[in-house]
Amino acid sequence: MTGEKLLEELQKAKLIDPAAAQKAQREALLSNRPIEETLYLKRLVDEGKVAELKSTLLKVPYQKVDVEHFDESLLRVVPEPTARTYGVAPLGKKEGLLIVGMLNPDDQKAQEALKFVARSTRSSLGVYVISWSDWQKILQKYSPFKSEIEGAVASLRGKPGVKPKAVVRLEEMGQANIEDAPVIKIVARTFEEAVLQRASDVHIEPQEEYLRVRFRVNGELQETASLPVELAQPVISRIKVLSQLKIDENRVPQDGRFRTAVQNREIDFRVATFPTPAGEKVAVRVLDPQVGIKSFDALGLVGRSFQIIERNLAKPYGMVIVSGPTGSGKTTTLYAVLQRLNNDKVNIVSLEDPVEYLVHGVNQSQVHPEIGYDFAAGLRQILRQDPDVIMVGEIRDSETAELAVRAALTGHIVLSTIHTNNAVSVVSRLIDMKVEPFLLPVSVNIMIAQRLVGELCAACKVGEPASPELVKIITKTLEGVPQEMKSRFREPYKIFHAPGCSVCKGKGITGRVALFEVLEMTDRLKEIISTGATLPLVMKEAKEQGMVTLRQDGVLKALEGQVMLEEVVRETEGV
């Protein structure tokens, strides 16, 4: 089934609207990607429903792949090049029957390739339709990380009299010396594995006796590999070559970035070096759009909070301010809001430090304070670009705060972040930044606060009665929650924990979930600010609005089994 035919059928089934279909077709053409991959990466439609639709149209059954119980011996039956080239994956083999999954069962070339595999194994074929992400998960099974790293290290050590070079010089990417090849492979596989594990950061740290490689996954650091200490300099030099840093400068920190293709999609890596007595440490931020850019609907906003944000994003001007500590997901929320507002009729301009993800259709600019191009200077220039929507990465000082407020007053939607503990503190923080109080009621629309907590593994989570202490916390927290949101939960309250399994690799966590609270600029709040806002008065108004607090949102999600209640209590202490 061609991509154009798929889009046509998706529209007929009302799974995608014409504007989104046109956007997918345009982006697929510009990026030279298949339309189905574009739909998956941009999250324009539920991929399971795409696979089910293809199953119905092609009269081929749809199969959800059980990755947890996947038999890795099947990887020897269907070679990796065949699986990647033709969009197929082995699913099972029994009694002379080879069961395979296909992205496009009507693809003649894929059919011929599989018939050849079946003949060579003296098997008949059974075919299912599978989803794009399930196909990707099977492809990941073809590339075991640790064995490849160990093989590369062994090949280095297996050469008598040959030591790894202190500096890897790769002026031309395809013409490395043979001694460099294992180092290149180690670095490449490390970054590929970071993407596969959905790591947000990679830390490469020389220790006294070995080179430690750690990934930050779901907010937690974990050691992934240990390499011989003599590889520290070659590995770090290779990374510096990729990110165009000075190889012979190891006395001061350096910053750089590079982009490469991993698993058929482009990933940005932001590199920062740091001198230590044992050698240079390298921290690499993995900027994977598939992980870092979420659709607005996937943020975890529910109930009243979702309705308030939806209502205010429809307004023609005003500020949307997201608050929270570093690492709380503020930028992810801003990008999701940008995507909701992004269309061909809107001119969106952003100021970021740095630009983390490239968003199609948004004019993004990175500030450089060292040359005088900071948020304040950029805001003055942005207003000359005829913007409809302005995103300012962070309000850090009085000048930026005042310019952002005035931009909102002159008919622009302004999106930004600020560092406060909760939503009600945003007003006082802006006043502390010397913004005139009378300007806030007419410029600020909504204030959002958020935190991130671990998402429990659905495969192994189990429910149990809450302890008396936790029951007290739940009961007290739910007192101010709107009745329609808490009516589903009755005593005895059940909370959830995940002991760990093969799906979550023993961690009990498969991702992170955001907790939100949203404060709206109501007429009463405008009056409070105009007559001298104090934190208790703003908090009282928030309660009268029926604002769901961070802790309340977390407790509701804990009772639903999404997150662990103890972590919610810990992360929302004092807010």
CATH code for the domain in which residue 280 is found: 3.30.450.90
User: Is residue 376 in a domain?
Assistant: yes
CATH code of the domain covering residue 67: 3.30.300.160
- Within a domain: 560: no
Q: Which domain holds residue 112?
A: 3-140
Check pLDDT > 80 for residue 28: no
Q: Please indicate, yes or no, whether residues 266 and 309 belong to a single structural domain of this protein.
A: no
Question: Which residues are bridge partners to 519 per DSSP?
Answer: 447
Last residue of a domain, one of 245, 269, 290: 290
Pick from 191, 199, 211, 91: nearest CA to 141:
91
Q: Per-residue DSSP letters for 355-418? A: --S--TT-EEEE-BGGGTB-HHHHHHHHGGG--SEEEES---SHHHHHHHHHHHHTT-EEEEEE
Quick one: pLDDT at residue 176? 46
Q: Are residues 175 and 323 in the same domain?
A: no
Decide which of 290, 319, 335 is a domain's last residue. Answer: 290
Q: Kindly state whether residues 413 and 528 are assigned to the same domain.
A: yes
Within a domain: 500 = no
CA distance 258 to 243: 5
What is the pLDDT, as a whole number, of residue 429?
A: 93
303 shares a domain with 281? no
Average pLDDT, the chain: 86
User: What distance lies between CA 257 and its chain's CA centroid?
Assistant: 18
283 shares a domain with 361: no
Taking residues 416-427, report their average pLDDT.
93
Task: State which of 256, 290, 324 marks the end of a domain.
Answer: 290
Rounded distance between C-alpha atoms, residue 293 and residue 336, angstroms: 7
**Residue 85 is encoded by which pair of tokens?**
């080239």
Residue 331 has pLDDT above 50, yes or no: yes
Q: What CATH number did the domain enclosing 393 receive?
A: 3.40.50.300
The CA distance from 391 to 366, in Å, is 12
Residue 462 to residue 456: CA distance in whole angstroms: 10
pLDDT digits (tens, 9 = 90+) for 115-168: 888 888 888 888 999 988 888 888 877 766 666 666 666 666 555 444 443 333
Residues 273 and 328 in one domain: no
Shared domain for 339 and 366, answered yes or no, is yes
Closest to 391 (Cα-Cα) out of 459, 319, 442: 319
246 and 175 belong to one structural domain: yes
- HSE toward the beta carbon, residue 201, CA cutoff 13 A: 16
**Is residue 236 assigned to a domain?**
yes
Q: Give the per-residue pLDDT at 323.
A: 95
Report CA torsion sign: 284, 287, 288, 293: positive
Q: Is there a single domain that holds both residue 278 and residue 317?
A: no
Q: Do 365 and 251 reside in the same domain of the chain?
A: no
Helix extents (H) in 444-515: 468-477, 483-486
Among 170-184, 318-332, 491-505, name the most confident range: 318-332
487, part of any domain: no
pLDDT above 90: residue 93: no
The band of 522, judged by pLDDT with boundaries at 50, 70 and 90, is very high
Asked whether residue 506 is domain-assigned, the answer is no
pTM, two decimals, is 0.69
Q: Is residue 367 part of a domain?
A: yes
Q: Count of domains in the chain?
A: 3
Residue 37 banded pLDDT, cuts 50, 70, 90: confident
Pair 399, 540 in one domain: yes
Query: What does the angle CA 215 – CA 218 – CA 223 come to, to the nearest 5 degrees?
Result: 25
270 DSSP β-pair partners: 257, 285
Distance CA 29, CA 19 (A): 15
For residues 27 and 119, state if they share a domain: yes
Whether residue 8 is contained in a domain is answered as yes
**What does the pLDDT read at residue 407?**
94
Using an 8 Å Cβ cutoff, are 118 and 125 in contact?
yes
Percent of the chain with pLDDT over 70: 93
Q: Does the structure show a pLDDT above 50 at 174?
A: no
